[in-house]
Each structure stands twice: as C-alpha cells, then as structure tokens.
Amino acid sequence: VAKAAGRNTYRFFDASMQADALERMRLLGKLHNAIERKELRLHYQPQLDLRSGAVIGAEALIRWQQPELGLVSPARFIPLAEDSGLIVPIGAWVLREACRQAAAWQEAGLPPIVVAVNLSVVQFRHGDLVRTVADALAESGLDPALLELELTESILIGDVDAVSQAVTRLKALGLRLSIDDFGTGYSNLAYLKRFAFDKLKIDQSFVRDMDSNADSCALVRAIVQMAHGLGLGTIAEGVERGELVEQLRRLNCDEAQGYHFGRPMPPEEFADYLARARSRAAA
Ligand code: C2E
Ligand code: MG
Ligand code: MG
Ligand code: MG
C-alpha cells in the first residue's frame, strides 16, 4: 500500500510539473510574437532627489498586454524570456523604446530626467549589448548622460575579466550604471572597488520596514555610508509610506522611488506627472 501511495504521489507531482511546463510553453509561444504585435509597453516610475524633492529620473518597467490573458507580470514572463533567449530582442526593444521616449520628453521641453533601463544578465553576456545600447542612443539622439542601466549582482558571477570589459565599454558610451536590488545577491564587495558603477539601488526588502525594524534600518544606514565612502550614489526602492522619507533623509540617502511618490505609469501620464512636479517646484 505504501509503495502504491508513493507511486501515486510521484505521479501527482509529475502531472503538475508537466502542466506547469505546458503552461510555460504556451506563454512562451505567445511571447514570441509580442513585439511584432505591439503587445509590449513601458511604464515609467518616478525617482526623486531626497534633498530637493525634484523628479530626477524614471525607471522604465516592461508591461505585456496579452489579448487573451490580460496584463502579464514581468515576474512571470521575464524569467521565460531569459531561459529562451527571447530577452535579447525584447531587451533591445526596451532600450530603443526608453531612449526614444526620453528624447521625446526632452524635445517636448520637459525637465531633463535620467531614464533607467533594467538589463538582464543574459543580455549582459550577449556579445551585442554594447552595440545595441550605442544604436539606441544614436537612433534616438538621447544624451548618453540621461541613460542609466540597472544591472544586478548576478552579472558578477563568472568571468570577471569579461564583466570588467563590458562595464568599461558601456561606461565609455557616457551612460551611468547602477546595481539593482543591492544587498540581495552576490556578497563579494570587492567588485564595488573594481568596477565603475555609479549608484546602488537599496533593495525594497530593507527599505519597506526600516521604520519598525532596527536591523533593516542598520542595513540601509550601512549601505549608504559604504556607497558614499566609495563615491557612489544611493537610491531607496519600494518607498511606500511618507514615514520612510524623513528617515531616509536622516540617513543621507540621495534618492528614492516607490508608490509613495508614484506608481509605474504609462508615458502620457508620466509626462503630466513631470509637468505638475515642475510647476510645484516653481511655485
Ligand atoms: P525591479 O527592477 O527591482 O523593479 C522594481 C519593482 O518594484 C517593479 O515591479 C515596481 O513596479 C515595483 N515597485 C516600485 N515601487 C514599489 C513600492 O513602493 N512597493 C512595492 N511593493 N513595489 C514597488 P515590476 O514592474 O513588476 O517589475 C518586476 C521586475 O521585473 C523588476 O524589478 C525587474 O527585475 C524586472 N523587469 C521589469 N522590466 C524589465 C525590463 O524591461 N527588462 C528586464 N530585464 N527586467 C525587467
Ligand atoms: Mg530595476
Ligand atoms: Mg529593484
Ligand atoms: Mg528586482
């Protein structure tokens, strides 16, 4: 009996795993055509300077509006795109679209802001990344100083010389590099000394409860001090409540991003947000 039950259990997992794999394959099939079918969009989330309160940047976040499934979260399809290699053309589209949009905002007379684009480790290892970024900049005419690329610590696992070369070539384009979700990945801090990054994005998990959790607060304080000691800027992610803003200012954190200031929004809405922020600052 035990043997039979064991076997059934095995079959049960097998079937659910198979269903999951099928689900992923169906989603991947749909994702293949998403670019041509214009189902991908970028939303933009404001980033603010904590001293002046000015909006100084926008993170571009991908959205997939799938006709049958509705809005599919990047948490669901980015891993699929990475495993299949589709992230390379999708990532190239994101870069072109974000640069085009940022240049258009400039031409429309909106205040200059930096547009931050997420890069997958798969794109980073792909030989054409530097060319893809250079092309997106050239095609859009965007000032490279207004482009920031967000990398994660996962890029640092593996061939250090290859990483070093890619970082140097990207920086030579005149853009900025930040480390996303800082504090949750690779723990060898020597890389911060070796590579020319500009900013650490302090992970939401430390920021979220820093007003009630002394450990989170200590981590945020330590990250800011370390970053400044190394000549790097800091931005706190996931700032959902006003209480956190004062505390981040006290800890000398430079910038902040989160629902408290604004959710990721479609480009038209973001342009309105920027224009309103400017008139508030002028008042
Ligand atoms: P991320 O780069 O760390 O982006 C921040 C995520 O936190 C976004 O989720 C954003 O909507 C969310 N967020 C912002 N403020 C708050 C807040 O105050 N509270 C909470 N709870 N969440 C907040 P989203 O848009 O679902 O993106 C999830 C992840 O998907 C991103 O994490 C990034 O790793 C990836 N991703 C998004 N767009 C792209 C892309 O164009 N390319 C690549 N390679 N990855 C992307
Ligand atoms: Mg990011
Ligand atoms: Mg992040
Ligand atoms: Mg993340």
The CB of 152 under 6 Å from ligand 1? The reply is no
Q: What ipTM, to 2 d.p.?
A: 0.98
Tell me which of 43, 48, 61 to substitute to probe ligand 1's pocket, judged by most ligand atoms within 8 Å of the beta carbon: 61
pLDDT in tens, 177-187: 999 999 998 76
Tell me which of 39, 84, 118 to substitute to probe ligand 1's pocket, judged by most ligand atoms within 8 Å of the beta carbon: 118
Task: Write the secondary structure of the chain as one string of H (helix), E (strand) and C (coil).
Answer: CHHHHHHHHHHHHHHHHHHHHHHHHHHHHHHHCCCCCCCEEEEEEEEEECCCCCEEEEEEEEEEEECCCEEECHHHHHHHHHHHCCHHHHHHHHHHHHHHHHHHHHHCCCCCCEEEEECCHHHHHCCCHHHHHHHHHHHHCCCHHHEEEEEEHHHHCCCHHHHHHHHHHHHHCCCEEEEEEECCCCCCCHHHHHCCCCEEEECHHHHCCCCCCHHHHHHHHHHHHHHHHCCCEEEECCCCCHHHHHHHHHCCCCEECCCCCCCCECHHHHHHHHHHHHHHHHC
Q: What is the pLDDT of residue 86?
A: 96
Cβ 137 vs Cβ 144: under 8 Å: yes
The CB of 71 under 6 Å from ligand 1? The reply is no
pLDDT in tens, 150-165: 999 988 887 888 888 8
What is the number of the ligand closest to the CA of 150? 2
Residue for token pair 């640092």: 156
| Euclidean distance between CA atoms 177 and 7, whole angstroms | 52
The CB of 97 under 6 Å from ligand 1? The reply is no
Q: What is the pLDDT of residue 158?
A: 78
Q: What is the pLDDT of residue 1?
A: 41
Q: What is the pLDDT of residue 9?
A: 55
Residues of the chain with pLDDT under 50: 1-4
pLDDT in tens, 264-277: 999 999 999 999 98
